[in-house]
Chain A
Amino acid sequence: MDETQQRTLIPTVIGVLGRRGVDFAAAEDAVQDALVEAVRVWPEDPPRDPKGWLVAVAWRRFLDAARADTSRRRREIRVEEEPEPGPPEAVDDTLRLYFLCAHPSLTPASAVALTLRAVGGLTTRQIAQAYLVPEATMAQRISRAKRTVSGVRFDQPGDVATVLRVLYLVFNEGYSGDVDLAAEAIRLTRQLAAMTDAEEVAGLLALMLLHHARRPARTRPDGSLVTLAEQDRSLWDTRLIAEGVDVLQTALARDRLGEFQAQAAIAALHADARTTKLYDRRGEDISLDEVERIVL
C-alpha cells in the first residue's frame, strides 16, 4: 500500500469515529495524530490491516485527548447522548466530509486547507510546505476552520458547487513542494465523481485531466510558460487526454452544460479541434464558438 492509497483511508476513518459519536473536530484531530504516527511507523513496520490500525490508534488518541481535556465530563455525557450509530456508510461519510470541508462559511483558503487534511489525508506539515507557510500558521488556519464549521450538522447535504470550487483552487495552485497538488486535486475529484452523479463534477475532472495531460509541455527548463500553440505535442499524455475527452463527452451528452464542462470543452477543442469532436445530446457537433459564447 503506497502513501496515496493510505491517504484514501483517512476520510473513512474520520467517518468511523464520527459514527462512534465523536464530533468532527475531535475525530479529525485524532485521525491526524494517527496519520502522523503512521507516517513515522509504517515504512519500517507496515500493518496488515492499515484501516484497522488507523481506527485503533485514532480511537486511542481520541480517548487520551478526551481524558486530558478539562471538560472531560461534558464530553463523555455528550458522547453517550449521541444516537446509536447507524450502519457503516463509508461512501456517504466521505461525501459528507467533502461538503463539510467546503462549507460556505469558510474562506477559500481555509476550505482548501481543511479539505486537504480531512479528505485528502495530508499532514499539516505537507500542506504547509505545499503552500509555503510555516507549519504553525497552517495548523492555526486548520483549527480555526474546524471551529467555524463546528456548529454545522455533519449529516446535511451541501452544495457540490462549493466543493468543486475548492478542488479547482487546489488544482490551480501548481506544483511547488513535495506534494503534487494538481495530482492530489485529480485524485480527490475522481473520488468525488465516483460518489456523485453531477455533470459539473465530471466537467471539472475532465478539465483537470486535459490540463494535466499537457503539463510536461507547459514549461521550459527555466520555468517559463510555453503557450499552447508553441507546445511540443509529443510531450502530451494522450492517455489522459483520451480519458478527459471521454469523461467530458459522457457529461455533455446529458445536456446540462455548466461552467466547468464548458471550460473543459474549450480545453479539449483547443488542444486538437481538427480531430477532437464533441457532441451534444442530439448527436450534433459542439463547436468551439458555441462553448466560448457560453463561458465568455
Chain B
Amino acid sequence: MAKYLLLKHYRGAPAAVNDVSMDHWTPDEVSAHVQYMNDFATRLQETGEFVDGQALSPDGMWVRSDGEGRPPVTDGPFAETKDLIAGWMVIDVDSRERAVELAGELSAAPGAGGKPIHEWLEVRPFLGEAPTISECHGG
C-alpha cells in the first residue's frame, strides 16, 4: 500500500472544465458538492483506503522565525499567492493506478449547475520509509 495526497486548489491549478468558482454557486450547489466529497470519503472508508480529509479555509497567513528570542514574523492573508490549497484527502491504496482512478472520481465532484467540475487535482505520493531489505541490492 502507498499513501497519496490528493490536493484541491482554490487557485493555481489549470482551469477546470466547469470553471465557475465556488463563491458563485447557489447554496444547494455547494451542499451537493460537499455531499459528494463526504460520500466519496465514506466509500473509501468502507474499502479500507481512507486516511484523512480536510477542507481548508481560504484565510491564513505566512509565518517564519525571526531569530532566537524574537516572536515569529507573520504575513498575510495570501493576497499575492498564486497557488491556494482548498483541502486535501489522504488515501492509502494498492497502486498508483488506483490513486489516479480515485483522484479522477474526486475531480468530478459537482459544481455550478450541478455539473461535474472536472477540476485538476494534484496527486502526490508520500515519501515513505526505505524498505528494510533495500540496502541489500544497493550493496
Closest to A143 in B: B48
A172: chain B residues at CB < 8 Å are 131-133
Q: Which one of A30-38, A52-60, A132-140, A159-167 is at the interface?
A: A132-140
A132: chain B residues at CB < 8 Å are 3, 51
Per-residue B-contact encoding for A84-108, CB less than 8 Å = 1, 0 else: 0000000000000000000000011
B49: chain A residues at CB < 8 Å are 137
Closest chain-A Cβ to B79's Cβ sits at a distance in Å of 36
Asked whether, in the complex, the Cβ of A134 is within 8 Å of the Cβ of B51, the reply is: yes
Asked whether, in the complex, the Cβ of A270 is within 8 Å of the Cβ of B92, the reply is: no
Partner of A140, one of B3, B48, B130: B48
A138 CA / B51 CA spacing, docked (Å)? 10
Asked whether, in the complex, the Cβ of A134 is within 8 Å of the Cβ of B50, the reply is: yes
Q: Tell me whether A211 and B46 are in contact in the complex, defined as CB-CB below 8 angstroms, given that A133-B51, A133-B92 are known contacts.
A: no
| Chain B CB within 8 A of A10 CB | no
Q: How many residues of B contact A (CB 8 A)?
A: 21
Closest chain-B Cβ to A263's Cβ sits at a distance in Å of 6
A182: chain B residues at CB < 8 Å are 132
Closest chain-A Cβ to B131's Cβ sits at a distance in Å of 4
Asked whether, in the complex, the Cβ of A137 is within 8 Å of the Cβ of B133, the reply is: no
B131: chain A residues at CB < 8 Å are 172-174
Asked whether, in the complex, the Cβ of B139 is within 8 Å of the Cβ of A270, the reply is: yes
Which positions in A face B, CB cutoff 8 Å?
107-110, 113, 131-134, 136-138, 140-142, 144, 168, 171-174, 176, 182, 207, 211, 215, 218, 225, 227-229, 263, 266-267, 270
Task: Knowing that A134-B51, A174-B130, A227-B135 touch, tell me 9 more A-B residue pairs with CB under 8 angstroms.
Answer: A131-B1, A137-B50, A141-B48, A172-B132, A176-B129, A215-B132, A225-B130, A228-B135, A263-B136
Asked whether, in the complex, the Cβ of B136 is within 8 Å of the Cβ of A136, the reply is: no
Closest chain-B Cβ to A188's Cβ sits at a distance in Å of 15
Asked whether, in the complex, the Cβ of A144 is within 8 Å of the Cβ of B48, the reply is: yes
Q: Tell me whether A137 and B135 are in contact in the complex, defined as CB-CB below 8 angstroms, given that A131-B1, A176-B129, A225-B130 are known contacts.
A: no
| Chain A CB within 8 A of B105 CB | no
Closest chain-B Cβ to A267's Cβ sits at a distance in Å of 5
A225 CA / B128 CA spacing, docked (Å)? 13
A207 CA / B1 CA spacing, docked (Å)? 22
| Chain A CB within 8 A of B138 CB | yes
Q: Tell me whether A140 and B45 are in contact in the complex, defined as CB-CB below 8 angstroms, given that A109-B94, A134-B51 are known contacts.
A: yes
A110: chain B residues at CB < 8 Å are 48
A141: chain B residues at CB < 8 Å are 47-48
